[in-house]
């Protein structure tokens, strides 16, 4: 399998996430689209790890390990981000009784 199919798959998932974040107004769905973008980047990192392992002469196994640990840390950051972000969404619903993100266009007052 060539590396460019993995690149195309990741680009497709990332752009679907961007389209969702631009067109939807529900804050939860926008948040899920951000998760989708993070996962597409993770998929591309694992594909490049596999490429360093088996494609380019298999000379750098250390790079493959580094890439997979990088994916692990991205997952850690995503989990922390989700906990704080969902708390913000719940607080926003408690104050406005809606999760429309257009309520957030006025940060003053």
Partner 1 sequence: MDVTQILFWFLSALAVVAAVGVVVSKSPIYSVLWLIVVFFSISGHYILMNAQFLAIVNIIVYAGAIMVLFLFVVMMINLNADAEPAKHIYLKIAGVIAGMCLMLVFIAALGHSDDIKISLAKGSDIGLIKNLGKALFNQYVIPFEISSVLFLSAMVGAIVIGKKDEPQNKPII
Euclidean distance between CA atoms 15 and 36, whole angstroms: 10
Residue 60 near partner 1 by CB under 8 A = no
Question: How far is residue 2 from each of residues 11, 41, 50, 53, 105, measured CA to CA in Å?
Answer: 15, 17, 11, 14, 44
C-alpha distances in angstroms, 36 versus 12, 16, 91, 100? 11, 8, 23, 20
Site for partner 1 contains 80 (CB under 8 A):
yes
Q: Is 8 in the site for partner 1 (CB under 8 A)?
A: yes
Is residue 87 a contact residue for partner 1 (CB under 8 A)?
yes
Closest distance between partner 1 and the C-beta of residue 57, in Å?
Answer: 10
Which parts of 9-28 interact with partner 1 (CB under 8 A)? 9, 11-20, 22-26, 28
Count of positions on this chain that bind partner 1 (CB under 8 A) = 77
Report in angstroms how near the CB of residue 59 gets to partner 1 at its nearest: 13
| Cα dihedral: 52, 53, 57, 61 (round 10) | 90
**90 near partner 1, rule: CB under 8 A:** yes
Shortest Å, Cβ 99 to partner 1: 6
């Amino acid at each position: 399998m060539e590396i460019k199919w993995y690149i195309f798959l990741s680009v497709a998932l990332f752009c679907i996430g961007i389209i969702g974040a631009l067109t939807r107004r529900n804050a939860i769905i926008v948040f899920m689209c951000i998760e989708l973008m993070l996962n597409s980047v993770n998929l591309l990192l694992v594909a490049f790890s596999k490429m360093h392992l088996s494609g380019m002469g298999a000379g750098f196994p250390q790079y493959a390990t580094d890439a997979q640990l990088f994916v692990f840390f991205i997952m850690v950051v995503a989990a922390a981000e989700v906990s704080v972000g969902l708390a913000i969404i719940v607080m926003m619903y408690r104050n406005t009784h809606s999760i429309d993100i257009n309520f957030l266009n006025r940060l003053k007052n």
